[in-house]
Amino acid sequence: MTHPHDETEDLLIHRAVSMTAAPTDWDSLEALSERDPELWHRMAQALRDEGDLTHALDARTAIASSIGPFQSRRRGLGFGAASGWFAAAAIAACWFTTLMHTGPAVLPGASRPGTAHESSDMPGAPGLVSNQGATHGIGSPTPVSTLPDVLLGTQRAADGDGYEITVMKRSVEKVRVKDLFQLQRGQDELGNPATLPVRFPATNAMEKY
Amino acid sequence: MTDMDDRDTTQRAIAGDRFALEILWRDHRRWLSAVLLSHMPNGADLEDLLQETAMNVCRKIRDLRDPERLRPWLRTIAINTAISAGRSATLRRKVRTMDDTELDPADPSIDHDEDHATARDTLERVLAAAQRLHPDYREPLILKSVRGLSQRAIAEALDLPETTIETRLARARRMLRQLLEEKGVPVPPAPRTAPGT
């Protein structure tokens, strides 16, 4: 059962919990408690709520210390236990999306200025490429979703008027391709990165890995 | 940091001093995350909102005309970021569904210990109850529970007299207690934590 509304009591309890109660406030609390001893119970509850809320907020807002206006944020992709081909497929999707937007085909692992690869997040994961990569999939890519922008860096504008901000736009697209190839270490006799065709089992291909 | 230091740092940030802007953000990001928690839509991710808020602060700091009004200005930026996130809530829910598939039940970081889980539930239940309060009471109460944030600083951020904040806090505590006594506050799902954070 809740206690009837009492503005004075609310204020006194708040001051006590906030450690801002003056000696006269404590006197008033004493006086009120003589008529209603349950007041101490309500104050204890308020103290407890304050402690719980503070701890809950500590935990939830701790993330703030890792975020800054000039810090790039590098979140793991979070695939958890899933690895191997699942991770590789993700790399392929990222890479394929890059190809779709940047033109010339560059295989994962090959260096090209301005091209980012996520392979460092998943060491050892083989890359997958489509033989239709740079030019087309079967049909148009289907937008799945967009993710919030990631701030990569900022700098003062050269002319001193404001700042230049580098932002990574993230989107997820699905596209169907005819064939997949797995990147191999080394090169073939023509100096091209070596690839092998990938054959998934007919059923539950992803479960296996 | 004293008010005078804050003013000086703000002025330098407005003038384009990158280091000053970093200091400002560092000094204010904790309570700004509490503002976001008070206003963010269901399903939104606090880390994403904070990142966007940082970006917006960076973009717009030169628009701040009066360094004395830094706190309300920062709060407005944070609230607008949360509102903007609410507009694309449907999209975010979709993303969240995708993210949820990443949870690994065998992950040792997931708390399986019963006592710890109960303690976490208690904290989450209190926070969930606070988030159910009317906005007039919710935000001051959540801000008051951020360590180191004074009643005066809250009044300044909310652009209200300190006496009004005190009254709202006093009522908010009672309303929170009553909500929790009703035991009608469900335990929300554990907040997601990005790997490596």
DSSP assignment of B65-115 equals --GGGHHHHHHHHHHHHHHHHHHTHHHHHHHHHHHHTT--TT-TTS---HH
- pLDDT score of A123: 34
Assigned fold of B1-88: Rna Polymerase Sigma Factor; Chain: A (1.10.1740)
Q: What is the pLDDT along chain B (197 residues), one digit of tens a residue?
A: 556 677 889 999 999 888 899 899 999 999 999 999 999 887 788 988 999 999 999 989 999 989 899 999 999 999 999 988 877 665 555 544 544 444 443 444 444 466 666 777 788 889 999 999 999 999 999 999 988 789 999 999 999 999 999 999 999 999 999 999 886 555 555 544 444 43
Nearest residue, CB atoms, A52 vs list B46, B107, B122 = B122
For chain B, give the number of residues: 197
Domain-by-domain residue ranges, chain B?
1-88, 114-189
* Residue B47 to residue A58, Cβ atoms within 8 A: no
Q: Which of A11, A17, A145 sits opposite B91 (nearest CB)?
A: A145
Q: Give pLDDT tens digits for A148-184.
A: 677 777 777 778 777 777 777 777 777 777 777 666 6
- Residue A139 has a CB neighbour count (10 Å cut-off) of 8
In angstroms, rounded to a whole number, what is the distance separating the alpha carbons of residues A1 and A8?
Answer: 19
Are the Cβ atoms of A54 and B37 closer than 8 angstroms?
Answer: no
Range of lowest pLDDT (A14-23, A31-40, A98-107, A156-165): A98-107
Class of domain B114-189 as given by CATH: mainly alpha
Closest CA to B105 of B47, B197, B190, B43: B190
Render pLDDT for A180-207 as a digit per residue (tens, 0 to 9): 766 666 666 666 666 667 666 655 444 4
Contact B58 A10 (CB under 8 A): no
Chain B neighbors of A120, CB-CB under 8 A = none
Is this prediction's ipTM beyond 0.95? no
User: Is the Cβ pair B54, A5 closer than 8 Å?
Assistant: no
Highest mean pLDDT among A81-85, A129-133, B177-181: B177-181
